[in-house]
Structure 1
Amino acid sequence: MIIDTHLHVVDPWTLDYPWLATVPALNQAWPYAAYELEARRAGISRTLHMEVDVAPERIEDETNYIDTLAHRPDSLIAGAIASCRPEEPEFAAYLDRQRRNPLVKGFRRVLHVMPDEVSEQPLFRDNIKRMSGSGLTFDLCMLPHQLPNAMALADLAPDVTFILDHCGVPDIKGDARQPWRDHITELARRPNVVAKISGVVAYADPDTWIADTLRPWVEHTISSFGWDRVVWGSDWPVCTLGGGLLAWVAATHALIDGASAEEKQKLLSGNAQRIWSL
Protein backbone atom coordinates (compact mmCIF):
# COMPACT_ATOMS: atom_id res chain seq x y z
CA MET A 1 0.00 0.00 0.00
CA ILE A 2 1.01 3.60 -0.60
CA ILE A 3 1.06 6.65 1.66
CA ASP A 4 0.52 9.76 -0.46
CA THR A 5 2.34 12.69 1.14
CA HIS A 6 1.06 15.38 -1.23
CA LEU A 7 -2.68 15.78 -1.78
CA HIS A 8 -4.28 19.15 -2.54
CA VAL A 9 -8.03 19.56 -1.98
CA VAL A 10 -9.48 22.65 -3.67
CA ASP A 11 -12.90 23.89 -2.55
CA PRO A 12 -13.52 27.36 -4.02
CA TRP A 13 -16.91 27.59 -2.28
CA THR A 14 -15.23 27.33 1.13
CA LEU A 15 -11.78 28.90 0.68
CA ASP A 16 -10.03 31.50 -1.47
CA TYR A 17 -7.18 30.60 -3.84
CA PRO A 18 -6.08 33.81 -5.64
CA TRP A 19 -3.29 32.10 -7.60
CA LEU A 20 -5.66 29.68 -9.35
CA ALA A 21 -6.89 32.46 -11.62
CA THR A 22 -3.50 32.30 -13.36
CA VAL A 23 -3.73 28.51 -14.00
CA PRO A 24 -6.95 27.92 -16.02
CA ALA A 25 -6.40 24.15 -16.23
CA LEU A 26 -6.61 23.88 -12.44
CA ASN A 27 -9.04 26.71 -11.72
CA GLN A 28 -11.99 24.61 -10.58
CA ALA A 29 -13.11 22.50 -7.64
CA TRP A 30 -10.98 19.45 -6.86
CA PRO A 31 -12.96 17.71 -4.11
CA TYR A 32 -11.68 15.07 -1.75
CA ALA A 33 -14.30 12.57 -2.97
CA ALA A 34 -12.89 12.64 -6.51
CA TYR A 35 -9.37 12.04 -5.23
CA GLU A 36 -10.44 9.29 -2.84
CA LEU A 37 -11.91 7.07 -5.56
CA GLU A 38 -8.79 7.26 -7.72
CA ALA A 39 -6.52 6.87 -4.71
CA ARG A 40 -8.19 3.69 -3.51
CA ARG A 41 -8.01 2.28 -7.04
CA ALA A 42 -4.28 3.01 -7.03
CA GLY A 43 -3.64 1.31 -3.69
CA ILE A 44 -3.24 4.48 -1.60
CA SER A 45 -4.15 3.76 2.02
CA ARG A 46 -3.40 7.10 3.71
CA THR A 47 -2.58 10.62 2.67
CA LEU A 48 -1.24 13.91 3.96
CA HIS A 49 -3.00 17.03 2.79
CA MET A 50 -0.66 19.69 1.45
CA GLU A 51 -1.65 23.32 1.79
CA VAL A 52 -2.89 24.96 -1.42
CA ASP A 53 -1.57 28.51 -0.88
CA VAL A 54 -4.91 29.93 0.15
CA ALA A 55 -5.33 33.65 0.77
CA PRO A 56 -3.17 34.45 3.82
CA GLU A 57 -6.12 35.35 6.04
CA ARG A 58 -7.66 31.91 5.36
CA ILE A 59 -4.67 29.77 6.35
CA GLU A 60 -6.13 28.48 9.60
CA ASP A 61 -9.54 28.12 7.97
CA GLU A 62 -7.94 25.71 5.50
CA THR A 63 -6.52 23.60 8.32
CA ASN A 64 -9.90 23.52 10.04
CA TYR A 65 -11.58 22.50 6.79
CA ILE A 66 -9.14 19.64 6.23
CA ASP A 67 -9.77 18.53 9.81
CA THR A 68 -13.45 18.05 8.95
CA LEU A 69 -12.45 15.88 5.96
CA ALA A 70 -10.04 13.87 8.12
CA HIS A 71 -12.86 13.06 10.54
CA ARG A 72 -15.12 11.59 7.90
CA PRO A 73 -15.69 7.83 8.30
CA ASP A 74 -12.82 5.88 6.70
CA SER A 75 -11.09 9.08 5.55
CA LEU A 76 -7.68 8.57 3.97
CA ILE A 77 -6.42 11.87 5.41
CA ALA A 78 -4.00 11.15 8.25
CA GLY A 79 -2.54 14.61 8.70
CA ALA A 80 -1.94 18.02 7.16
CA ILE A 81 1.02 20.09 6.07
CA ALA A 82 -0.22 23.58 6.86
CA SER A 83 0.58 26.86 5.19
CA CYS A 84 2.69 29.40 7.05
CA ARG A 85 4.41 32.76 6.70
CA PRO A 86 7.80 32.59 8.49
CA GLU A 87 8.63 36.05 7.17
CA GLU A 88 5.99 37.57 9.48
CA PRO A 89 6.27 38.39 13.21
CA GLU A 90 3.05 36.49 13.95
CA PHE A 91 4.68 33.16 13.04
CA ALA A 92 5.83 32.40 16.60
CA ALA A 93 2.30 32.51 18.00
CA TYR A 94 1.00 30.59 14.98
CA LEU A 95 3.61 27.87 15.54
CA ASP A 96 2.54 27.52 19.17
CA ARG A 97 -1.09 27.06 18.14
CA GLN A 98 -0.31 24.48 15.50
CA ARG A 99 1.93 22.46 17.82
CA ARG A 100 -1.21 21.76 19.85
CA ASN A 101 -3.11 20.54 16.79
CA PRO A 102 -2.61 16.78 16.27
CA LEU A 103 -3.69 17.05 12.63
CA VAL A 104 -0.74 19.31 11.69
CA LYS A 105 2.41 17.34 10.85
CA GLY A 106 4.42 20.15 9.28
CA PHE A 107 4.44 23.41 7.34
CA ARG A 108 5.08 24.73 3.87
CA ARG A 109 5.71 28.20 2.55
CA VAL A 110 5.49 28.17 -1.25
CA LEU A 111 8.79 29.66 -2.43
CA HIS A 112 9.16 28.71 -6.09
CA VAL A 113 6.92 31.61 -7.11
CA MET A 114 8.43 34.07 -4.63
CA PRO A 115 11.55 36.24 -4.84
CA ASP A 116 14.62 34.54 -3.38
CA GLU A 117 14.82 37.34 -0.83
CA VAL A 118 11.81 35.96 1.04
CA SER A 119 13.70 32.97 2.44
CA GLU A 120 16.85 35.05 2.92
CA GLN A 121 15.24 37.46 5.38
CA PRO A 122 16.62 37.23 8.93
CA LEU A 123 13.13 36.91 10.42
CA PHE A 124 12.24 34.07 8.04
CA ARG A 125 15.38 32.20 9.00
CA ASP A 126 14.97 32.87 12.72
CA ASN A 127 11.45 31.49 12.56
CA ILE A 128 12.63 28.36 10.74
CA LYS A 129 15.13 27.82 13.56
CA ARG A 130 12.26 28.33 16.01
CA MET A 131 10.78 25.07 14.68
CA SER A 132 13.63 23.08 16.23
CA GLY A 133 12.30 20.61 18.77
CA SER A 134 8.72 20.89 17.52
CA GLY A 135 8.76 17.63 15.59
CA LEU A 136 7.14 19.45 12.67
CA THR A 137 8.63 19.23 9.18
CA PHE A 138 9.09 22.01 6.64
CA ASP A 139 8.43 21.42 2.93
CA LEU A 140 10.71 23.16 0.46
CA CYS A 141 9.07 23.97 -2.88
CA MET A 142 11.85 25.65 -4.82
CA LEU A 143 13.14 25.88 -8.38
CA PRO A 144 16.56 24.39 -9.23
CA HIS A 145 18.35 27.75 -9.12
CA GLN A 146 16.92 28.36 -5.63
CA LEU A 147 18.22 25.13 -4.10
CA PRO A 148 21.27 26.84 -2.55
CA ASN A 149 18.74 28.69 -0.38
CA ALA A 150 17.29 25.31 0.60
CA MET A 151 20.78 24.24 1.65
CA ALA A 152 21.16 27.39 3.75
CA LEU A 153 17.88 26.73 5.57
CA ALA A 154 18.80 23.10 6.23
CA ASP A 155 22.16 24.19 7.65
CA LEU A 156 20.54 26.82 9.87
CA ALA A 157 18.17 24.32 11.52
CA PRO A 158 19.84 20.89 11.62
CA ASP A 159 17.19 19.61 14.07
CA VAL A 160 14.36 20.34 11.61
CA THR A 161 13.46 17.79 8.94
CA PHE A 162 13.06 19.48 5.55
CA ILE A 163 11.12 17.83 2.74
CA LEU A 164 12.19 18.72 -0.81
CA ASP A 165 9.04 18.77 -2.93
CA HIS A 166 8.84 17.35 -6.46
CA CYS A 167 12.47 16.25 -6.83
CA GLY A 168 13.45 19.92 -6.76
CA VAL A 169 11.04 21.01 -9.54
CA PRO A 170 13.26 20.08 -12.52
CA ASP A 171 12.57 21.29 -16.06
CA ILE A 172 12.07 17.84 -17.55
CA LYS A 173 10.38 19.09 -20.71
CA GLY A 174 13.36 21.33 -21.43
CA ASP A 175 15.85 18.62 -20.35
CA ALA A 176 17.66 21.17 -18.15
CA ARG A 177 19.94 18.81 -16.21
CA GLN A 178 22.07 21.58 -14.73
CA PRO A 179 22.22 23.18 -12.22
CA TRP A 180 19.48 20.85 -10.97
CA ARG A 181 21.63 17.71 -10.91
CA ASP A 182 24.57 19.21 -9.00
CA HIS A 183 22.29 21.02 -6.56
CA ILE A 184 20.40 17.80 -5.77
CA THR A 185 23.70 16.03 -5.08
CA GLU A 186 24.84 18.81 -2.78
CA LEU A 187 21.51 19.20 -0.98
CA ALA A 188 21.38 15.46 -0.30
CA ARG A 189 24.56 15.76 1.78
CA ARG A 190 22.38 17.37 4.47
CA PRO A 191 21.09 14.48 6.62
CA ASN A 192 18.05 16.50 7.72
CA VAL A 193 16.67 16.78 4.16
CA VAL A 194 14.26 14.22 2.65
CA ALA A 195 13.30 14.16 -1.03
CA LYS A 196 9.72 13.78 -2.16
CA ILE A 197 9.29 11.79 -5.37
CA SER A 198 6.28 13.71 -6.61
CA GLY A 199 5.00 16.16 -9.18
CA VAL A 200 7.42 15.31 -11.96
CA VAL A 201 4.75 14.33 -14.50
CA ALA A 202 3.63 17.97 -14.53
CA TYR A 203 7.13 19.06 -15.62
CA ALA A 204 7.38 16.70 -18.59
CA ASP A 205 5.71 17.06 -21.98
CA PRO A 206 2.11 15.94 -21.25
CA ASP A 207 1.68 14.46 -24.74
CA THR A 208 4.87 12.45 -25.02
CA TRP A 209 6.31 11.46 -21.62
CA ILE A 210 6.70 7.81 -20.70
CA ALA A 211 8.22 6.25 -17.60
CA ASP A 212 11.73 6.36 -19.08
CA THR A 213 11.35 10.12 -19.64
CA LEU A 214 11.15 10.52 -15.88
CA ARG A 215 13.79 7.94 -15.03
CA PRO A 216 16.96 10.13 -15.02
CA TRP A 217 15.34 12.66 -12.72
CA VAL A 218 13.78 10.19 -10.30
CA GLU A 219 16.77 7.87 -10.20
CA HIS A 220 19.26 10.69 -9.57
CA THR A 221 17.11 11.98 -6.71
CA ILE A 222 16.79 8.55 -5.12
CA SER A 223 20.46 7.67 -5.60
CA SER A 224 21.50 11.01 -4.07
CA PHE A 225 19.28 10.80 -1.00
CA GLY A 226 19.18 7.03 -0.54
CA TRP A 227 16.16 4.85 0.13
CA ASP A 228 15.90 5.94 3.78
CA ARG A 229 15.32 9.61 2.84
CA VAL A 230 12.70 9.51 0.10
CA VAL A 231 8.90 9.62 0.28
CA TRP A 232 6.23 9.46 -2.42
CA GLY A 233 3.55 12.01 -3.31
CA SER A 234 0.87 12.31 -5.96
CA ASP A 235 0.64 16.12 -6.17
CA TRP A 236 -3.04 15.67 -7.06
CA PRO A 237 -4.61 17.52 -8.84
CA VAL A 238 -1.47 19.11 -10.34
CA CYS A 239 -0.53 15.66 -11.63
CA THR A 240 -3.60 15.81 -13.90
CA LEU A 241 -1.58 18.24 -16.05
CA GLY A 242 0.65 15.30 -16.95
CA GLY A 243 -1.68 12.33 -17.21
CA GLY A 244 -3.25 12.02 -13.78
CA LEU A 245 -2.89 10.04 -10.59
CA LEU A 246 -3.22 6.54 -12.03
CA ALA A 247 -0.65 7.25 -14.73
CA TRP A 248 1.81 8.60 -12.13
CA VAL A 249 1.32 5.58 -9.84
CA ALA A 250 1.86 3.22 -12.78
CA ALA A 251 5.00 5.10 -13.82
CA THR A 252 6.31 4.98 -10.26
CA HIS A 253 5.96 1.20 -10.12
CA ALA A 254 7.78 0.94 -13.46
CA LEU A 255 10.60 3.21 -12.28
CA ILE A 256 11.26 1.22 -9.09
CA ASP A 257 10.72 -2.21 -10.61
CA GLY A 258 14.35 -3.17 -10.02
CA ALA A 259 14.39 -2.12 -6.37
CA SER A 260 14.14 -4.60 -3.51
CA ALA A 261 10.89 -5.14 -1.66
CA GLU A 262 12.37 -3.31 1.34
CA GLU A 263 13.42 -0.33 -0.77
CA LYS A 264 10.00 -0.07 -2.38
CA GLN A 265 8.32 -0.23 1.03
CA LYS A 266 10.50 2.58 2.36
CA LEU A 267 9.66 4.90 -0.53
CA LEU A 268 5.97 4.12 -0.78
CA SER A 269 5.04 4.05 2.91
CA GLY A 270 7.68 3.20 5.50
CA ASN A 271 9.65 6.44 5.51
CA ALA A 272 6.47 8.52 5.67
CA GLN A 273 5.23 6.48 8.61
CA ARG A 274 8.48 7.13 10.46
CA ILE A 275 8.88 10.81 9.62
CA TRP A 276 5.32 11.86 10.47
CA SER A 277 4.48 9.14 13.03
CA LEU A 278 1.53 7.95 10.97
Structure 2
Amino acid sequence: MIVDAHHHLWTIDGGYTWLDEPGLEPIRRTFTPAMLRAELAATGVRHTVLVEGGRCDRAEAADLLRLAAETPEIAGVVAWLDPAAADVAGTVAAYRALPGGDRLVGVRAQVQSEATDYLDRADVRRGLADLGAAGLVFDLVVRADQLGSAARAARALPQVRFVLDHLGKPRIRAGELDGWSAAIADLAAAPNTYAKLSGLVTEADHDRWTVADLRPYVREAVAAFGPARLMFGSDWPVCLLAATYGEVHAALVEALGPLPEPDRRAIFGETAVAAYGLRDPRTGILP
Protein backbone atom coordinates (compact mmCIF):
# COMPACT_ATOMS: atom_id res chain seq x y z
CA MET A 1 0.00 0.00 0.00
CA ILE A 2 1.52 3.32 -1.12
CA VAL A 3 0.51 6.47 0.74
CA ASP A 4 1.28 9.96 -0.58
CA ALA A 5 1.75 11.94 2.63
CA HIS A 6 1.75 15.39 1.04
CA HIS A 7 -0.26 16.91 -1.79
CA HIS A 8 -2.55 19.88 -2.42
CA LEU A 9 -5.77 20.75 -4.22
CA TRP A 10 -6.96 24.26 -5.05
CA THR A 11 -9.17 26.32 -7.33
CA ILE A 12 -7.72 29.24 -9.24
CA ASP A 13 -10.35 31.60 -7.84
CA GLY A 14 -10.12 30.23 -4.29
CA GLY A 15 -7.94 32.92 -2.74
CA TYR A 16 -4.49 31.41 -3.35
CA THR A 17 -2.88 34.75 -4.12
CA TRP A 18 0.65 33.38 -3.90
CA LEU A 19 0.02 31.74 -7.27
CA ASP A 20 0.25 35.20 -8.84
CA GLU A 21 4.02 35.26 -8.28
CA PRO A 22 6.21 35.14 -11.41
CA GLY A 23 7.35 31.70 -12.47
CA LEU A 24 4.31 29.84 -11.16
CA GLU A 25 2.42 29.77 -14.46
CA PRO A 26 2.51 25.94 -14.73
CA ILE A 27 0.49 25.58 -11.53
CA ARG A 28 -1.65 28.71 -11.79
CA ARG A 29 -4.82 26.73 -12.46
CA THR A 30 -7.38 24.57 -10.71
CA PHE A 31 -6.42 21.09 -9.48
CA THR A 32 -9.31 18.76 -8.65
CA PRO A 33 -9.76 15.38 -6.97
CA ALA A 34 -10.42 13.83 -10.39
CA MET A 35 -7.05 15.07 -11.62
CA LEU A 36 -5.41 13.72 -8.47
CA ARG A 37 -7.11 10.35 -8.87
CA ALA A 38 -5.61 9.94 -12.34
CA GLU A 39 -2.11 10.52 -10.96
CA LEU A 40 -2.65 8.09 -8.10
CA ALA A 41 -3.91 5.35 -10.40
CA ALA A 42 -0.94 5.75 -12.75
CA THR A 43 1.56 5.50 -9.87
CA GLY A 44 -0.14 2.87 -7.73
CA VAL A 45 -0.83 5.20 -4.80
CA ARG A 46 -3.83 4.11 -2.75
CA HIS A 47 -4.23 6.82 -0.08
CA THR A 48 -3.12 10.41 0.49
CA VAL A 49 -2.83 13.24 2.97
CA LEU A 50 -4.26 16.53 1.68
CA VAL A 51 -2.33 19.56 3.03
CA GLU A 52 -3.40 23.20 3.26
CA GLY A 53 -2.22 25.23 0.31
CA GLY A 54 -1.08 28.57 1.65
CA ARG A 55 -4.46 30.30 1.72
CA CYS A 56 -4.09 30.72 5.46
CA ASP A 57 -7.71 31.05 6.48
CA ARG A 58 -10.11 28.83 8.40
CA ALA A 59 -12.58 28.63 5.54
CA GLU A 60 -10.09 26.57 3.54
CA ALA A 61 -10.28 23.84 6.19
CA ALA A 62 -13.98 23.40 5.44
CA ASP A 63 -13.24 23.09 1.73
CA LEU A 64 -10.47 20.52 2.22
CA LEU A 65 -12.39 18.42 4.72
CA ARG A 66 -15.39 18.34 2.39
CA LEU A 67 -13.17 17.18 -0.47
CA ALA A 68 -11.75 14.47 1.77
CA ALA A 69 -15.24 13.28 2.70
CA GLU A 70 -16.07 13.05 -1.01
CA THR A 71 -12.79 11.42 -2.08
CA PRO A 72 -12.08 7.96 -0.63
CA GLU A 73 -8.40 8.14 -1.54
CA ILE A 74 -7.86 11.10 0.81
CA ALA A 75 -7.33 9.48 4.21
CA GLY A 76 -6.32 12.60 6.11
CA VAL A 77 -6.25 16.40 6.01
CA VAL A 78 -3.64 18.77 7.40
CA ALA A 79 -5.53 22.07 7.71
CA TRP A 80 -4.27 25.59 8.35
CA LEU A 81 -4.25 26.85 11.93
CA ASP A 82 -2.36 29.66 13.63
CA PRO A 83 -0.69 28.10 16.70
CA ALA A 84 -0.23 31.56 18.22
CA ALA A 85 -3.98 32.19 18.27
CA ALA A 86 -5.80 32.27 21.59
CA ASP A 87 -8.45 29.70 20.60
CA VAL A 88 -6.46 26.77 19.22
CA ALA A 89 -8.52 24.14 21.04
CA GLY A 90 -11.76 25.80 19.96
CA THR A 91 -10.65 25.96 16.33
CA VAL A 92 -9.75 22.28 16.37
CA ALA A 93 -13.18 21.44 17.80
CA ALA A 94 -14.85 23.57 15.12
CA TYR A 95 -12.90 21.83 12.36
CA ARG A 96 -13.85 18.42 13.70
CA ALA A 97 -17.52 19.39 13.67
CA LEU A 98 -17.41 20.14 9.93
CA PRO A 99 -18.41 17.65 7.24
CA GLY A 100 -15.33 15.49 6.81
CA GLY A 101 -14.01 16.56 10.20
CA ASP A 102 -13.18 12.96 11.02
CA ARG A 103 -10.43 13.20 8.37
CA LEU A 104 -8.56 15.94 10.27
CA VAL A 105 -5.17 14.47 11.24
CA GLY A 106 -2.97 17.55 11.60
CA VAL A 107 -2.53 21.25 11.08
CA ARG A 108 0.20 23.56 9.91
CA ALA A 109 0.99 27.25 9.61
CA GLN A 110 3.27 28.94 7.10
CA VAL A 111 6.18 29.08 9.53
CA GLN A 112 8.56 29.51 6.58
CA SER A 113 7.36 33.11 6.28
CA GLU A 114 8.04 33.89 9.97
CA ALA A 115 11.16 34.87 11.91
CA THR A 116 13.87 32.28 12.50
CA ASP A 117 12.90 31.85 16.17
CA TYR A 118 9.11 31.77 15.65
CA LEU A 119 8.78 28.30 17.19
CA ASP A 120 10.55 29.49 20.35
CA ARG A 121 7.77 31.94 21.19
CA ALA A 122 5.75 31.18 24.32
CA ASP A 123 2.38 31.77 22.64
CA VAL A 124 3.30 29.45 19.78
CA ARG A 125 4.49 26.75 22.19
CA ARG A 126 1.17 26.99 24.10
CA GLY A 127 -0.76 26.47 20.88
CA LEU A 128 1.42 23.53 19.91
CA ALA A 129 0.79 21.96 23.31
CA ASP A 130 -2.96 22.32 22.72
CA LEU A 131 -2.59 20.55 19.40
CA GLY A 132 -0.77 17.70 21.09
CA ALA A 133 -3.53 17.43 23.67
CA ALA A 134 -6.04 17.21 20.82
CA GLY A 135 -4.09 14.34 19.27
CA LEU A 136 -3.11 16.24 16.13
CA VAL A 137 0.19 16.36 14.28
CA PHE A 138 1.87 19.71 13.61
CA ASP A 139 3.42 19.85 10.14
CA LEU A 140 6.60 21.91 10.00
CA VAL A 141 6.88 23.84 6.77
CA VAL A 142 10.10 25.63 7.65
CA ARG A 143 13.21 27.03 6.04
CA ALA A 144 16.56 25.35 6.62
CA ASP A 145 17.58 28.16 8.99
CA GLN A 146 14.50 27.44 11.15
CA LEU A 147 15.39 23.80 11.79
CA GLY A 148 17.14 24.70 15.04
CA SER A 149 14.03 26.29 16.51
CA ALA A 150 11.98 23.31 15.28
CA ALA A 151 14.32 20.96 17.15
CA ARG A 152 14.03 23.03 20.32
CA ALA A 153 10.22 22.97 20.07
CA ALA A 154 10.18 19.21 19.57
CA ARG A 155 12.39 18.65 22.62
CA ALA A 156 10.31 21.01 24.74
CA LEU A 157 7.02 19.37 23.69
CA PRO A 158 7.60 15.60 23.64
CA GLN A 159 3.84 14.99 23.71
CA VAL A 160 3.41 16.62 20.27
CA ARG A 161 4.12 14.79 17.02
CA PHE A 162 5.97 16.96 14.52
CA VAL A 163 6.23 16.11 10.81
CA LEU A 164 8.85 17.99 8.82
CA ASP A 165 7.71 18.94 5.33
CA HIS A 166 10.14 18.82 2.40
CA LEU A 167 13.12 17.94 4.64
CA GLY A 168 13.24 21.56 5.78
CA LYS A 169 13.81 22.89 2.26
CA PRO A 170 17.55 22.27 1.83
CA ARG A 171 19.21 24.46 -0.77
CA ILE A 172 19.78 21.68 -3.25
CA ARG A 173 20.22 24.04 -6.18
CA ALA A 174 23.20 25.62 -4.40
CA GLY A 175 24.56 22.26 -3.26
CA GLU A 176 24.49 23.23 0.42
CA LEU A 177 24.59 20.08 2.54
CA ASP A 178 26.73 20.21 5.70
CA GLY A 179 24.87 22.83 7.76
CA TRP A 180 21.50 21.41 6.78
CA SER A 181 22.67 17.88 7.56
CA ALA A 182 23.72 18.84 11.10
CA ALA A 183 20.39 20.60 11.69
CA ILE A 184 18.44 17.60 10.40
CA ALA A 185 20.34 15.27 12.74
CA ASP A 186 19.54 17.60 15.66
CA LEU A 187 15.82 17.57 14.83
CA ALA A 188 15.76 13.82 14.27
CA ALA A 189 17.30 13.25 17.71
CA ALA A 190 13.85 14.09 19.13
CA PRO A 191 11.87 10.82 18.88
CA ASN A 192 8.57 12.65 18.37
CA THR A 193 9.67 13.92 14.95
CA TYR A 194 9.06 12.54 11.46
CA ALA A 195 9.99 13.84 8.02
CA LYS A 196 8.61 13.80 4.50
CA LEU A 197 10.76 12.96 1.50
CA SER A 198 8.87 15.55 -0.48
CA GLY A 199 9.39 18.85 -2.26
CA LEU A 200 12.99 18.09 -3.21
CA VAL A 201 12.74 18.57 -6.98
CA THR A 202 11.52 22.13 -6.50
CA GLU A 203 14.50 22.93 -4.25
CA ALA A 204 16.80 21.69 -7.03
CA ASP A 205 17.28 23.28 -10.45
CA HIS A 206 13.82 22.99 -11.99
CA ASP A 207 15.13 22.44 -15.50
CA ARG A 208 18.32 20.46 -14.91
CA TRP A 209 17.90 18.42 -11.72
CA THR A 210 18.99 14.81 -11.62
CA VAL A 211 18.54 12.02 -9.10
CA ALA A 212 22.21 12.47 -8.23
CA ASP A 213 21.36 15.99 -6.99
CA LEU A 214 18.72 14.62 -4.62
CA ARG A 215 20.51 11.49 -3.40
CA PRO A 216 22.81 13.09 -0.75
CA TYR A 217 19.83 14.72 0.97
CA VAL A 218 17.76 11.55 0.87
CA ARG A 219 20.65 9.55 2.31
CA GLU A 220 21.20 12.03 5.14
CA ALA A 221 17.50 11.90 5.98
CA VAL A 222 17.52 8.10 6.07
CA ALA A 223 20.58 8.13 8.31
CA ALA A 224 19.02 10.67 10.67
CA PHE A 225 15.39 9.52 10.91
CA GLY A 226 15.45 5.93 9.70
CA PRO A 227 12.68 4.46 7.50
CA ALA A 228 10.24 4.20 10.42
CA ARG A 229 10.10 8.03 10.64
CA LEU A 230 10.28 8.90 6.94
CA MET A 231 7.44 9.08 4.43
CA PHE A 232 6.97 9.68 0.73
CA GLY A 233 5.18 12.84 -0.38
CA SER A 234 4.64 14.04 -3.94
CA ASP A 235 4.01 17.73 -3.21
CA TRP A 236 1.74 17.62 -6.26
CA PRO A 237 0.83 19.91 -7.97
CA VAL A 238 3.68 22.17 -6.79
CA CYS A 239 6.10 19.53 -8.05
CA LEU A 240 4.90 20.27 -11.61
CA LEU A 241 7.25 23.24 -11.60
CA ALA A 242 10.05 20.69 -11.97
CA ALA A 243 8.61 17.19 -12.50
CA THR A 244 5.49 15.15 -13.00
CA TYR A 245 3.89 13.11 -10.23
CA GLY A 246 5.32 9.90 -11.67
CA GLU A 247 8.79 11.41 -12.05
CA VAL A 248 8.82 12.47 -8.39
CA HIS A 249 7.91 8.97 -7.24
CA ALA A 250 10.44 7.34 -9.56
CA ALA A 251 13.19 9.75 -8.50
CA LEU A 252 12.69 8.90 -4.83
CA VAL A 253 12.74 5.17 -5.56
CA GLU A 254 16.03 5.61 -7.41
CA ALA A 255 17.54 7.96 -4.83
CA LEU A 256 16.79 5.51 -2.02
CA GLY A 257 18.35 2.61 -3.91
CA PRO A 258 17.77 -1.02 -2.92
CA LEU A 259 15.87 -1.29 0.36
CA PRO A 260 14.82 -4.18 2.56
CA GLU A 261 11.11 -4.76 2.04
CA PRO A 262 10.13 -3.60 5.58
CA ASP A 263 11.96 -0.29 5.00
CA ARG A 264 10.29 0.21 1.64
CA ARG A 265 6.86 -0.44 3.16
CA ALA A 266 7.58 2.06 5.92
CA ILE A 267 8.70 4.93 3.70
CA PHE A 268 6.00 4.43 1.10
CA GLY A 269 3.08 3.90 3.44
CA GLU A 270 3.38 2.60 6.97
CA THR A 271 5.14 5.64 8.45
CA ALA A 272 2.42 7.99 7.21
CA VAL A 273 -0.29 5.71 8.60
CA ALA A 274 1.43 5.60 12.00
CA ALA A 275 2.42 9.27 12.22
CA TYR A 276 -0.98 10.63 11.25
CA GLY A 277 -3.13 7.81 12.63
CA LEU A 278 -4.73 7.34 9.23
CA ARG A 279 -7.85 5.21 9.04
CA ASP A 280 -11.00 4.86 7.05
CA PRO A 281 -13.70 6.52 9.23
CA ARG A 282 -16.20 3.89 8.09
CA THR A 283 -14.14 0.81 8.95
CA GLY A 284 -11.43 2.03 11.31
CA ILE A 285 -8.68 0.68 9.05
CA LEU A 286 -7.05 1.53 5.73
CA PRO A 287 -7.63 -1.17 3.11
TM > 0.5: yes
Q: Secondary structure at the match of 1:48?
A: strand
Report the number of matched residues: 273
Extract unaligned runs of 5+ from structure 2.
279-287
| 1:157-172 alignment, distance < 5 Å | 157-172=157-172
Residues 86-142 of structure 1, C-alpha deviations (whole Å, 9 max, x = no match): 122232311333355311000111111222354333211111112233221000111
Q: Secondary structure at the match of 1:191?
A: coil
CA distance in 1, matches of 2:161, 2:56: 26
Match of 1:68 in 2: 66
Please say if residues 231 and 269 of structure 1, whose CA atoms lie closer than 8 Å, have aligned partners that are also in contact: yes
One of 71, 75, 82 as aligned partner of 1:85: 82
Q: Secondary structure at the match of 1:158?
A: coil
CA distance in 2, matches of 1:163, 1:55: 19
Please say if residues 218 and 256 of structure 2, whose CA atoms lie closer than 8 Å, have aligned partners that are also in contact: no
CA distance in 2, matches of 1:163, 1:83: 14
CA distance in 1, matches of 2:129, 2:69: 32
Match of 1:18 in 2: 17
Match of 1:217 in 2: 217
* Deviation of the 1:207 alpha carbon: 2.1
Q: Secondary structure at the match of 1:95?
A: helix
Residues 152-197 of structure 1, C-alpha deviations (whole Å, 9 max, x = no match): 2112210111001111110101001132111011111000000111
CA distance in 2, matches of 1:77, 1:260: 27
CA distance in 2, matches of 1:221, 1:240: 23
Match of 2:55 in 1: 54
CA distance in 1, matches of 2:226, 2:105: 23
State, as a whole percentage, how many aligned pairs show the same letter: 29
Q: Secondary structure at the match of 1:81?
A: strand
Please say if residues 88 and 130 of structure 2, whose CA atoms lie closer than 8 Å, have aligned partners that are also in contact: no
Which amino acid in 2 is paired with 1:69? L
Change (3 A) 1:194 1:39: same
Please say if residues 50 and 81 of structure 1, whose CA atoms lie closer than 8 Å, have aligned partners that are also in contact: yes
Change (3 A) 1:66 1:150: same
Q: Secondary structure at the match of 1:163?
A: strand
* Deviation of the 1:217 alpha carbon: 0.4
Match of 1:237 in 2: 237
Match of 1:111 in 2: 111
CA distance in 1, matches of 2:4, 2:65: 17
Which amino acid in 2 is paired with 1:274? A
Pair 1:33 & 2:34 matched: yes
| 1:169-208 alignment, distance < 5 Å | 169-208=169-208
* Deviation of the 1:147 alpha carbon: 0.6
* Deviation of the 1:255 alpha carbon: 2.0
CA distance in 2, matches of 1:54, 1:121: 23
TM-score normalized with structure 2 length: 0.90
Q: What value does the CA root-mean-square deviation take over the aligned residues?
A: 1.7
Residues 196-243 of structure 1, C-alpha deviations (whole Å, 9 max, x = no match): 110101111122222122100011011110111111111011111111
Please say if residues 68 and 77 of structure 2, whose CA atoms lie closer than 8 Å, have aligned partners that are also in contact: no
Q: Secondary structure at the match of 1:3?
A: strand
Match of 1:262 in 2: 262
Q: Which stretch shows the higher mean deviation, 15-24 or 140-149? A: 15-24
CA distance in 1, matches of 2:277, 2:129: 22
Q: Secondary structure at the match of 1:92?
A: helix
